[in-house]
Amino acid sequence: MNRNREFLTIVLKIIKAKGSANLFASTIDGNLIFIVIKDGEITKLRYRNQSGAAAVQLLDSIKVKSCSVKKYTEAFLPSQDDLPSTGDILKLLLSGLSWKVAKPQETRSKKSVEGSKVEKKLPNTEGAAEGVPPKTVVIPNSALTNVKKAFQEAVGPIAGVIYDNIYQEVVQEFGSAKNSIGFHSLVQRLTEEIDKPQHKKEFLKSIGYL
């Protein structure tokens, strides 16, 4: 797994579980990232000799070399009252940690999307003519709204951050999430982000895939 994505995945999982931990990551330019998470909220952050809001502003260019998770302890860092919300920090991490980067063998191809087990049927595409190529079938906005809502119910508070980044990933790769290939790719990738099998099933059922 790409080191940036590995680190981000660890952060997201701890936050999603409302856990507590101290995270350390070294970057390829020799700097250290230190993040304290308490009860699912980022409470302290230090990077490049900067703390709090000043450190957050530097997160859009980091490249992780290695990372580790330690048991939560009260950090020696002073209180950081200027720290942005956990959601805002996650958005910067998602941007800076290159969420879209993956190793070649991990890259999702259009062929794999078309043959995915998740792909069962399209949402209602009223007005689509018989024989119209899948990429020209327009998926209604209501279907995308339903998918986002169902994903939020399955994942919790950080769902919006994950959804927005995966949505942009799909748009960049397929041109749109409103054609059948893009839509199915969106559903497949969102499903992969849901940890519990029962939650995956409920998500797919609520959007009409089961």
- Read off the pTM: 0.52
For residue 67, what are the β-bridge partners? 25
User: Please, which pLDDT band fits residue 121 given cuts at 50, 70 and 90?
Assistant: low
Residue 17 has pLDDT above 60, yes or no: yes
* Alpha carbon distance 70, 35 (integer Å): 10
The domain limits of the chain are: 3-96, 108-206
User: What are the φ and ψ backbone dihedral angles of 66, each rounded to 5 degrees?
Assistant: -155, 160
Q: 202 with 195: CB under 8 angstroms?
A: no
User: Please, which pLDDT band fits residue 34 given cuts at 50, 70 and 90?
Assistant: very high
Give me the residue label for tokens 């927005």.
Answer: 164
* Alpha carbon distance 26, 23 (integer Å): 10
Q: What is the mean pLDDT of residues 24-44?
A: 91
- Positive or negative, the Cα torsion across 50, 54, 58, 62? positive
Q: 90 with 12: CB under 8 angstroms?
A: yes
Q: 34 with 91: CB under 8 angstroms?
A: no
pLDDT, position 20: 93
Helix (H) or strand (E) holding 64: strand 64-71
User: Please, which pLDDT band fits residue 158 given cuts at 50, 70 and 90?
Assistant: confident
pLDDT, position 41: 93
Residue 103 has pLDDT above 80, yes or no: no
User: Please, which pLDDT band fits residue 110 given cuts at 50, 70 and 90?
Assistant: very low
Q: Each residue of 83-93: pLDDT tens digit?
A: 888 988 887 77
pLDDT, position 2: 64
Q: Each residue of 177-198: pLDDT tens digit?
A: 888 888 998 999 899 888 889 9
pLDDT, position 112: 42
pLDDT, position 137: 62
* Alpha carbon distance 183, 90 (integer Å): 25
